[in-house]
Structure 1
Amino acid sequence: MKIEIWSDVACPWCYIGKRRFETALNGFAHKDSVEVQWRSYQLDPTIPEHYDGTELSYLSDRKGMDPAQVKGMFAHVTEQAAGEGLNYKFDDVVVANSFNAHQLLHLAKANGKGDAVKEALLSAHFEHGVDIGAREALVKVGTEAGLSAVDINEALDSDTYADDVRHDFAEARALGVTGVPFFVIDRKYGLSGAQPAELFSQALEQAWQEANPLTMVGAGGTDAEACGPDGCAV
């Protein structure tokens, strides 16, 4: 079973959704048969590489949201994150363009480090106030996950994975994705948002059962003795 997750490093619900999905996946009996692939999405491609302002000012000035509403949203999201063991610090968040972070994620995926780098980037952005638009920060995250600093710098210097990132954006539009996180199971089921772990579990079970239907042995033959709601055969 293949699960593709469209997500942005700068999306607070994406980290919460990652945790809830992981809770469901860890309890799934067929976990070892599941392939998880992180796909790129940008909530705001127009953000400059370095934005001179806080997350609060970004949402209120650039997005036109009421500052009081934004503060209320921060409090709600922080509470939901804490419920998943995450320690959000919105006052420390550095607003930055995530395009190069997505390029790093594609490099990581090519080297079998996709999930580790995704986790590190989300934690760096929301829990540790790291500038995910800064080259040195991306190199640090990548090398700590086991990637080569030379490979990271070469990939970013040459935009090696830029087309792959844009392809993910285009595929999201083709699928009708308008918000993240967005989970696609076997290109058949879609789940939008940081759903409860229980819903992810239901989706995993349903998708597995449909992909692996039970085949009865000896169909058409005489049923052997068995017990049912009305008793047992004698």
Structure 2
Amino acid sequence: MTDAIKIDVWSDIACPWCYIGKRNLETGLAAASGDEDAPVVEVTYHSYELSPDTPVDFEGGEYDYLAQHKGITPDQARQMLERVTGVAAEAGLQYRFDLLQHTNTVKAHELLHFAKEKGRQLELAERLMSAYFTEGRHLGRIEELAALAADAGLDSAEAEEALRSGRYLDAVRADQAQATSYGITGVPFFVIDGRYGVSGAQPAEAFTQITRQVWAERHADADADAVA
């Protein structure tokens, strides 16, 4: 039995390209899952804060955030959001920047580590990104995060206690330190089997191809070991 391919994903729930990358990864893996010898894959999400200095209650909308954070004009911000909305639609995602509530994401990252410990990280990552980009939910508030945790199959009271205690903050910082050691400066960033780095929201076909490639390499290595 060949061990599962490990895909480690650095992302931020407030990164529009990360949600697109997540969906494309899932679509690509689904395509490979139909192979006669389908790759076995294990996906883990890691913390990366794009804007750690953002206040929990940011004053203004996404246009205001882009203008302030990137130093661009409102018209440039509009063009950026229209572009990413179009790309998201191609991935099957309906972004609602008119509803989006920009916020600090550190507590959302802490919650993802809590969910990982409970075996529900993938479900929570999907729930958080959907809530943020398509529903206008406020992901900087502990009560809101606890409610979303329940949607992902977690105990809301336990999730709220974990967030208020701050006991997963060290895990968030460890992920960020590892990103620095890898030289990651933007997300999404995918580390495939600890050997290949893939940056950006690649098309689904790219994930299908690299997964098949790594799976074939795994079998070749296993065959070589058997001969030796």
Who is 2:28 aligned against?
A: 24
Write 1 or 2 for the structure with the bigger share of helix. 2
Where 2:7 maps in the other structure, the secondary structure is strand
Which string of whole-angstrom CA distances, capped at 9 and with x for unpartnered residues, describes residues 51-109 of structure 1?
A: 11111101102331221111011111111111111110111110100000001111111
Q: Within 5 A, what are the aligned runs for 1:1-234?
A: 1-28=5-32, 29=35, 33-213=40-220, 215=223
Which 4+ stretches in 1 moved above 6 angstroms? none
Label 1:31 to 1:131 Cα distance change in 2 as closer, same or farther (>3 A): farther
Q: What is the aligned-residue RMSD (CA, Å)?
A: 1.5
- Residue 218 of structure 2 aligns with an amino acid whose one-letter code is A
Label 1:61 to 1:215 Cα distance change in 2 as closer, same or farther (>3 A): closer
Deviation at 1:21, TM superposition (A): 0.6
Alpha-carbon distance in structure 2 between the residues aligned to 1:153 and 1:125: 18
Deviation at 1:17, TM superposition (A): 0.6
Note if contact 1:183-1:191 (Cα within 8 Å) is conserved in structure 2.
yes
Question: Any stretches of 5+ residues in structure 1 without a counterpart?
Answer: 220-234
Where 2:80 maps in the other structure, the secondary structure is helix
Question: Any stretches of 5+ residues in structure 2 without a counterpart?
Answer: none
Note if contact 2:100-2:136 (Cα within 8 Å) is conserved in structure 1.
yes
TM-score (norm 2): 0.91
Alpha-carbon distance in structure 2 between the residues aligned to 1:96 and 1:31: 40
Deviation at 1:32, TM superposition (A): 6.3
Alpha-carbon distance in structure 2 between the residues aligned to 1:32 and 1:114: 21
Alpha-carbon distance in structure 1 between the residues aligned to 2:149 and 2:101: 19
Q: Size of the alignment, in residue pairs?
A: 217
Deviation at 1:33, TM superposition (A): 2.0
Percentage identity across aligned positions? 46
Alpha-carbon distance in structure 2 between the residues aligned to 1:187 and 1:94: 35
